[in-house]
């Protein structure tokens, strides 16, 4: 799953640690999501979208290869 987290953080002038703090997760979790090593759970994905005032579809996008797994 792809995401715009890094861009959104930059737009909101927010560090990984600050975003992690707001979401109640570790900075490493945010880093793993940003680098697309880890797909967040649906509740966490909704919370991330909410922080940036967006919908989940505007924050996360399906990877073309996801459908072939």
Please give the residue ranges that form the binding site for other proteins (CB under 8 A).
17-18, 20-21, 24-29, 31-32, 37-38, 40-41, 44
Structure tokens at 28: 């490493």
CB of 10 to other proteins, least distance (A): 19
For residues 42 and 36, is the Cβ–Cβ distance under 8 A? no
- Report the helix count and the strand count for the chain, using DSSP H and E: 5, 2
* Least separation in angstroms between CB 19 and other proteins: 11
Tokens for 15, please give them: 């560090």
Q: Which is nearer to other proteins, 4 or 39 (CB)?
A: 39
């Amino acid at each position: 799953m792809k995401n715009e987290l890094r861009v959104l953080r930059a737009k909101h002038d927010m560090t990984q640690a600050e975003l992690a703090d707001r979401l109640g997760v570790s900075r490493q979790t945010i880093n793993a999501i940003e680098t697309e090593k880890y797909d967040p759970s649906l509740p966490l994905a909704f919370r991330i979208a909410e922080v940036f005032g967006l919908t989940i579809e505007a924050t996360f996008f399906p990877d073309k290869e996801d459908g072939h797994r």
